[in-house]
Amino acid sequence: MSSSDIPKKTTPVIDHLRFHRVHAHLAPTFGTDNFALKAEAFARFFGTPTFLGAQTLVVLVWVALNLTGVTHFDVYPFILLNLAFSLQSAYAAPLILLAQTRQAARDKAQAD
């Protein structure tokens, strides 16, 4: 008898997550921890009229104070204001993406 005649012993593939897959839609994508919930609430606030109005008011006051000569902390090209907007967008973009991903996960779970 040669070695090719001996049947090879195969081990069955065990799916260790088989019991968890049916409940996978119940777990939120980023969890329900405090940071994720606060980040989502903050990202939702970016689209409100309150935020847009407040930001417009701050920018108008900022520009008016610097153009009229009341203060000179950020003169005409408004470099500091530009940096403030850049910082805001650097934090806003990931938070908005987080909120969209969480909303997509909720929509998928609701559709299932």
The answer to whether residue 60 is domain-embedded is: yes
The model's pLDDT over 83-110, given as tens digits with 9 standing for 90+, comes to 999 999 998 888 888 888 888 888 888 8
92 contacts: CB under 8 Å, gap ≥ 6:
43, 46
Two structure tokens written together for 101 = 């991903």
The DSSP output letter for 27 is S
The answer to whether residue 12 is domain-embedded is: no
Inter-residue contact 80 to 62 (CB < 8 Å): no
Domain count, the chain: 1
User: CA 44 to CA 6: how far, in whole Å?
Assistant: 65
User: CA 57 to CA 63: how far, in whole Å?
Assistant: 10
**43-69 CB burial, b ≥16 within 10 A, e <16:** beebeeeeeeeeeeeeeeebeeebeee
The model's pLDDT over 8-40, given as tens digits with 9 standing for 90+, comes to 667 777 777 777 677 666 655 555 677 777 878
Mean pLDDT, to the nearest integer, of 37-56? 87
Q: Residue 41 belongs to what domain range?
A: 21-111
The answer to whether residue 27 is domain-embedded is: yes
The answer to whether residue 13 is domain-embedded is: no
The answer to whether residue 2 is domain-embedded is: no
The model's pLDDT over 61-85, given as tens digits with 9 standing for 90+, comes to 999 999 998 998 998 899 999 999 9
